Amino acid sequence: MYLIVTTMIMAAALSSCQKDLGKPAQADISPNDLAMAQKILSFVDRMYHVSTMSSANLKSSGVMDVDSALWNIEAAVNYLYADIPEQCEFIAIDSSATTITLQANSGMCSEADVANIFGQLQNELESYLNVNNDVQLVAAGLKATPDPTGNIRLMLQYLVAAPAVPDPVQVVPTLAPFTNGWKPAMSYQCNGGMCESDEPGHAHTDKCKDLATEIQSKINSYYGKVQRLEHVDYWTDIEFVYIDHGDAFGNPDDDECDNYRDCLIYHTSYPCCSHCFGNMYWLPCTFGACLPKEECNFYLQSTFDVLSRPNAPNAPGTCPVGKEVIKITNAYGDIYPSGPNAHIDHFFDIKYGISHKRPPEPYQHDPEK
């Protein structure tokens, strides 16, 4: 049989495994509950006193009815060892492998026998918790079965919980910076790529990737990681935004317009070399040369900022209000002559949308279970 104390504790334990349910404050404990706690502690003190009496004085130990002994043993074990967690991963029942016999006579038993059994159950419970140190005891049920002689066979059953494991801290990714320079190749020539380097793994040039293509790869990698962290299941209101040189975003830190960062990456000016004049293409002096990694990272960050910001007067960007970047679908550049200079127009196709997280399926109670 299971006693009422265990039933109440188990019910409370199951309720506690629902998140956001806290323990009651001291002011919420009723006088009856406080009186019950005093009664249980009095039993524990009495059992300790009886168990330490000398054999000559054992005859002075009293007797108690079996039902009272069982109630007090189970209540004391739970009072001393059980701890209802506020959050838990699962609840399970585990049975003891030890059976102890309580000597009974006409429904009565000696306090000495009760004290001895109480001590054995404590030792067994402590051994169980030492071995199973990955669980938390929520409640202990005392299974009591009468045998043919009228004695009671006792066995503990444990209601245990695995403490809730906190979600791992999700580190928001950052843009992976350029560690080496890249050449500002144009789409029709495809002879750019990463500059030659002595660094391990960077000795060869990727012939068909220019700076714009690598910026596309880095930004898409960043947004892909963010979207996985957010568990985006689907997108709605898909919209493509096309950026060309007519949508150039000036660099507010370059008032004199005298360096490669004049108009960010969308429209980059270069002085032409005199020996290139008259050629089929007016090539900038830097054509085929390497942009330093500082320039590449400036263009990476500025491109990211413009794509991410909403299209607003105070912070001009290209992101439609209420939408997020899904990915850059295409990025490339073309070279054009411009008087004594040349410029590279970079083009971007960006896919935007509204992200949605699919709601969890509602719990459906099965009355047959």
Measured in Å, how far apart are the chain's first and last C-alpha atoms?
A: 23
Tell me, yes or no, whether 326 lies in a domain: yes
* 3-class DSSP state of 70: helix
**Are 129 and 240 in a shared domain?**
no
- pLDDT reading at 24 higher than 80: no
Distance from C-alpha of 185 to C-alpha of 349, rounded to nearest angstrom: 18
- pLDDT reading at 114 higher than 90: yes
- Cβ-Cβ contacts under 8 Å for 140 (sequence gap 6 or more): 6, 74, 77, 78, 81, 82, 125, 156, 157, 158, 159
Tell me, yes or no, whether 98 lies in a domain: yes
Tell me, yes or no, whether 365 lies in a domain: no
**Are 96 and 207 in a shared domain?**
no
**Are 193 and 155 in a shared domain?**
no
> Which segments of 106-210 does DSSP mark as H helices, in order?
111-131
Percentage of the chain exceeding pLDDT 90: 24
- Cβ-Cβ contacts under 8 Å for 250 (sequence gap 6 or more): 262, 263, 264
Q: What is the pLDDT of residue 68?
A: 94
Q: Which helix (H) or strand (E) holds 40?
A: helix 31-51
Total domain count, the chain: 2
- How far, CA to CA in Å, does 153 sit from each of 50, 76, 94, 149? 22, 18, 18, 11
Range of the domain at 219: 182-356
- pLDDT reading at 252 higher than 60: yes
Token pair, residue 145, equals 């079965």
**Are 200 and 341 in a shared domain?**
yes
Domain boundary pick from 133, 163, 193: 163
Stretch 34-53: mean pLDDT: 88
Q: Pick the residue with more confidence: 352 or 187?
A: 352
Q: Which residue has the tokens 């265990």?
A: 6
- pLDDT reading at 21 higher than 50: no
**Are 250 and 348 in a shared domain?**
yes
pLDDT tens for 287-333 read: 566 778 888 898 899 889 888 888 776 667 889 988 999 999 988 77
Tell me, yes or no, whether 362 lies in a domain: no
Structure confidence at residue 98 as a pLDDT band (50, 70, 90): confident
- pLDDT reading at 165 higher than 80: no
pLDDT tens for 183-193 read: 765 554 555 56
Stretch 195-206: mean pLDDT: 51
Q: What is the pLDDT of residue 22?
A: 39
Distance from C-alpha of 271 to C-alpha of 197, rounded to nearest angstrom: 26
| Angle value at C-alpha 302, between 296 and 303, nearest 5 degrees | 90
Tell me, yes or no, whether 304 lies in a domain: yes
**Are 235 and 332 in a shared domain?**
yes
Distance from C-alpha of 300 to C-alpha of 221, rounded to nearest angstrom: 13
**Are 193 and 244 in a shared domain?**
yes
Tell me, yes or no, whether 95 lies in a domain: yes
How many whole angstroms from its chain centre is CA 290? 42
Q: Are 289 and 205 in contact (CB under 8 A)?
A: no
| Weakest-pLDDT range from 51-55, 171-175, 239-243 | 51-55
Count of positions (residues) in the chain = 369
Q: What is the pLDDT of residue 135?
A: 84
Nearest to 282 by CA among 210, 332, 340, 334: 340
Token pair, residue 159, equals 């209601």
Distance from C-alpha of 326 to C-alpha of 303, rounded to nearest angstrom: 15
DSSP single-letter state for residue 64 = E
Number of neighbours of residue 28 by Cβ within 10 angstroms = 8
Domain boundary pick from 163, 197, 217: 163
**Are 17 and 144 in a shared domain?**
yes
Stretch 337-352: mean pLDDT: 77
- pLDDT reading at 72 higher than 90: yes
Tell me, yes or no, whether 97 lies in a domain: yes
pLDDT tens for 217-247 read: 999 999 999 988 888 888 999 999 988 766 6
- pLDDT reading at 18 higher than 70: no
Global pTM exceeds 0.95: no
**Are 101 and 159 in a shared domain?**
yes
Q: Are 263 and 250 in contact (CB under 8 A)?
A: yes
* 3-class DSSP state of 72: helix
**Are 263 and 347 in a shared domain?**
yes
Stretch 269-282: mean pLDDT: 57
Token pair, residue 355, equals 């992200």
Tell me, yes or no, whether 271 lies in a domain: yes
Token pair, residue 346, equals 């970079």
Domain boundary pick from 132, 163, 194: 163
**Are 315 and 230 in a shared domain?**
yes
Q: Which long-range contacts (CB under 8 A, 24 or more apart) does 245-254 make?
A: 245/343, 245/345, 245/346, 245/347, 247/318, 249/302, 249/306, 249/316, 251/302
**Are 73 and 156 in a shared domain?**
yes
